[in-house]
């Protein structure tokens, strides 16, 4: 049995005693873009945080594996080392830590000793260029006083520099910001074209289908009320764009009844 992929099996998760995820089965394949769509409150961000290891989420049952390695027993940093990356919807600020220092510390942690300082510097400038970012970014404190678009760009810069095996892009609300969407789309497209990133699998979490114009999905999953209720091709996203979630909700209700 192949274990390749970022795989959730029967994942049930509670937050402060309330069960939010009620048995998720999902496989994100290497080299493919999976969209996870669903109405507000359906549990999409909970899935993202649970996979990344946020301490506020209690796993009731199930597993999450990355190319066969169980993630749920690992602290968040070990999950990153295993090759997982979460692009936050609302990344935290770390005043006093410069972007340059943070990037270097993260890269060293994820891939110890693989780059000399000079090579690392070269990599950073290369990625800055690809993302059309000002090198002055490097001297600023991480996310401190950043605009929404700047935060998103920094997330993408980190993704490009850490080159994970699987990236979860939590874009739940950023559908409202065209600039940010474009930054995400461009970054992922560039990374997919590079040697480092061509095998990467993506889980793009979104409420609105708009981001998928910038980063087209191969597979679309729909989550409602803590369950994946439907999986299909790109046409599923188009259907949601036309008709919203009501029809799928009705279908699901019908099949249960």
- The contact set with other proteins (CB under 8 A) reads 52-55, 75-77, 79-81, 85-86, 88, 91-97, 102, 105-106, 109-110, 141, 158, 162
Q: How far is the CB of 143 from other proteins (least distance, A)?
A: 8
10 versus 77: smaller Cβ distance to other proteins: 77
Q: Least separation, in Å, of the C-beta of 237 and other proteins?
A: 27
Q: Which is nearer to other proteins, 93 or 100 (CB)?
A: 93
Phi, psi angles (nearest 5°) of residue 249: -60, -45
**Residue 42 buriedness (CB in 10 A; 0-12 / 13-18 / 19+):** buried
Q: CB of residue 96 vs other proteins: minimum separation in angstroms? A: 3
Smallest separation (angstroms) from other proteins to the CB of 107: 8
Task: For residue 115, give both structure tokens.
Answer: 């780059």
Triad 167, 101, 81: Cα angle to 5° = 35
Site of tokens 């679309």: 220
Measured from the CB atom, the residue of 24 and 99 that comes closer to other proteins is 99
Residue 144's nearest CA partner among 97, 110, 95 is 95
Shortest CB 85 distance to other proteins, Å:
8
d(CA 251, CA 159): 37
Which residues, in sequence order, are CB contacts of 252 under 8 Å at separation 6+? 224, 229, 230
| Closer residue to other proteins, CB minimum distance, 73 or 251 | 73
User: In the complex with other proteins, which residue's Cβ is closer, 60 or 74?
Assistant: 74
Give whichever of 154 and 222 is closer to other proteins, judged by the CB atom: 154
230 closest CA partner among 238, 239, 220? 220
* CB of residue 18 to other proteins, shortest distance in Å: 20
Residue that is written with structure tokens 């996870």 in the block: 36
């Amino acid at each position: 049995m192949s274990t390749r992929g970022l795989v959730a099996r029967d994942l049930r998760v509670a937050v402060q005693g309330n069960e939010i995820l009620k048995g998720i089965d999902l496989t994100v394949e290497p080299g493919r873009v999976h969209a996870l769509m669903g109405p507000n409150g359906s549990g999409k961000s909970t899935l993202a945080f649970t996979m990344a290891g946020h301490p506020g989420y209690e796993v009731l049952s199930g597993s999450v594996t990355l190319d066969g390695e169980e993630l749920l027993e690992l602290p968040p940093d070990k999950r990153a080392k295993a090759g997982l990356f979460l692009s936050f919807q609302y990344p935290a600020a770390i005043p006093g830590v410069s972007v340059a220092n943070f990037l270097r510390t993260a890269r060293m942690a994820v891939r110890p000793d693989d780059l000399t300082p000079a090579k690392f510097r070269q990599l950073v400038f290369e990625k800055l260029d690809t993302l059309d970012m000002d090198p002055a970014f490097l001297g600023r404190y991480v996310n401190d006083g950043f605009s929404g678009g700047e935060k998103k760009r920094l997330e993408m810069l980190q993704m490009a520099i850490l080159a994970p095996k699987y990236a979860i892009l939590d874009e739940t609300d950023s559908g409202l910001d065209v600039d940010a969407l474009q930054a995400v789309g461009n970054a992922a497209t560039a990374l997919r074209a590079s040697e480092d990133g061509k095998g990467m699998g993506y889980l793009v979490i979104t409420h609105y289908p708009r981001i998928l114009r910038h980063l087209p999905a191969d597979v679309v999953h729909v989550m409602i009320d803590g369950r994946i209720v439907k999986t299909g091709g790109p046409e599923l996203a188009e259907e949601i764009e036309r008709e919203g979630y009501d029809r799928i909700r009705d279908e699901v209700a019908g099949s249960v009844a």
